[in-house]
Amino acid sequence: MANTLFRKGLGLKHAVEGELLRDYHSSLVSKIRDSDYQHSAGRLTIHLAQEFGFCYGVDRAVDYAYQTRRRFPDKTVFLTGEIIHNPHVNSRLRDAGIRFLSDPNENIDSVTADDVVILPAFGITVAELSLLTDRSCTLVDTTCGSVLNVWKNVKKYARDGYTAVIHGKVKHEETQATASQAIAVDGGQYLIVLDREEVEIVCDFIRGHGDSNSFQKRFSNSVSRHFDPKRDLRRVGLANQTTMLMSESLAIAEMFRDAMIERYGDLLIDDHYRAFETICSATQDRQDAVQRLLDEQDFDFMIVIGGYNSSNTRNLARICAERVDTYHIADPKCLLSVEQLRHLPTTHKADVKNLGEVTSSGWLPTQGPINVGITAGASTPDIIVGEAIDRISDFSAASIFRS
């Protein structure tokens, strides 16, 4: 029996609007938007970046999940994993009775033909999709259009004989899904690189330095099964996980181009190297907006709000930390008191599980005016931003009486 597949909603957008407003809207954030993105309370002034929070792709994915639950109230509904990287959103979906195949004691063997499975905004691998297709279940595909565009280009690389070099985090769901598209083409190969340090190693090999054994050992978990660097680095096509830091992606593109020119010459560059911009517009808009905010204001500190496993949120924190003290918090509860807050240290380290949350003291000045900048990742709903602003406002007022 063929799968039923929903890719353009389930016809219940208006029916779930009230639920979405209840769970994710903030009247305070709407008011701040209407007040030129500024909010003052006593000695506190908060400036919001003019692009922050839910992007179109995330908003669409969450909307489809709510529509799915409404459309199939009596069916078991699964998500293959987190629909987006935000704990509040995923908690709301669990509360609605949606089961996550990534949770303990859940797996694809639980799925039957009577069930409904939602595919997340990051997409899933070709192999995972095949397994679900074989189960003849109903599928609701929320894969972001920007991700689909990357897949299209990566498959074209493979068909044309170019290895897909993916700038991304090897364990990220989107990067895994993109890599799977490359090897779905006969002879397709991929290599995943995290940062400029890893790219420099690859570029040295392209120039003719290094040996295959050392290369394979370094990138053993980041390459396709039959990857041979001597063969598969002769022609490469660069793509990016859509939520990476744009400035780093551009630098990496130049590094590969320079290495190929040095090895093969300028006249043959198109035969050995291709690249196209795959950072999604929402990611870029949020990075540009926070850069403008930092250029326009001097802040006592920045608060960046979003899931710790959210790549685009962590990159916003990296941008801010280069200019001012920055605290990346997952939710308002991380703001513990006037004296203390919990946050994730700012780094490009890929494995969040090995990067612990820390508690810092003295984050809130106890005297004088406080000027704070706030932004949020593309998977952070307004309600979380509004609650954080309320909490900071309360603490700034309380600290007057404690100083």
Burial class of residue 175 (count of CB atoms within 10 Å of its CB; 0-12, 13-18, 19+): buried
254 is catalytic: no
Residue 340 CA from chain centroid, whole number: 27
Distance CA 69, CA 77 (A): 7
Residue keyed to tokens 């540009």: 288
Whether residue 363 contacts residue 301, with contact meaning beta carbons closer than 8 Å, is answered with yes
In this structure, what token pair is assigned to residue 219?
A: 């990138």
Distance CA 88, CA 379 (A): 10
Q: What is the DSSP string of 199-246?
A: HHHHHHHHTT-S-HHHHHHHTTTSB-TT--HHHHTSSEEEEE-TTS-H
Q: What angle do CA 312, 316, 321 make, to 5 degrees?
A: 145
Of 174, 198, 254, 296, the catalytic one is 174
Q: What positions carry a catalytic annotation?
A: 174
